[in-house]
Amino acid sequence: MAFIILIATVVISLYAMYRNQNIYYRWMFSPWRVRREGAWHTFITSGFLHADLTHLAFNMITFYFFAFRFEEIVGATNFLIIYLGSMIIADMGSFFKHANNPNFRSLGASGAVSGIVFGSILYFPTSKMIIFPLPIPIPAYIFGVLYLAWCFYAERQARDNINHSAHMFGAIAGAVLTVLLEPRVVQHFLNHF
């Protein structure tokens, strides 16, 4: 499943970037369009679009390092539920916050990828992770706390065009969905401390 998602995301993103930019309007997440035009599909389709090559590469490299190992543990069906569930839930904060803003748009797999990363953290809480650009490895559970704190702070500052709330909601969704689908992970996580 992870391989199919990786290939589909790369192909669709490149196709939209270089061959058919009209897809952006139809598939990009817009709370205003969801409410007024019923564009509910954009909760999913927007996760297969990326703004540029850097955006695509960052998400897919992160996906590559976490998704395949995670899928081996939880299985293809649970992996798909966690990935797509995180993708949908990632946009919920934006949906309510920007429902009356016709100019707000969001795209990218970051929320879903964050969900996979946080599901993985539950299985490997003491594995080492690096917060870019700092080259200091830290335990995954500490990375998780710092990541959520950063997302919360950055969303409040709103100084860039990054949907930080999608990262935060996607990460939390990934952890919660993993626990709901794989309750044994809670004891596994606690056994590391």
Q: What would the two tokens of residue 37 be?
A: 């035009």
**Mean pLDDT, the chain, integer:** 92
| Statement: residue 134 has pLDDT above 80 | no
Q: What is the pLDDT of residues 27-72, one digit of tens each?
A: 999 999 999 999 999 999 999 999 999 999 999 999 999 999 999 9
With contact defined as beta carbons under 8 Å apart, do 66 and 118 qualify? no
Averaged pLDDT for residues 12-37 = 93
Residue 7 has pLDDT above 80, yes or no: yes
Q: Answer whether residue 183 shows pLDDT above 90.
A: yes
CA neighbor of 129 nearest in space, from 62, 69, 191: 62
Length of the chain equals 193
18 burial (CB, 10 Å; 0-12 / 13-18 / 19+) is exposed
Domains of the chain: 2-190 (1.20.1540.10)
Pair of tokens at residue 11: 């192909």
For 92-131, write each residue's pLDDT tens digit: 989 998 889 999 999 999 999 999 999 999 999 999 988 7
Q: Tokens standing for 85? A: 């569930």
* Structure tokens given for 42: 């954009």
Answer whether residue 161 shows pLDDT above 80: no
> Does residue 150 have a pLDDT over 90?
no
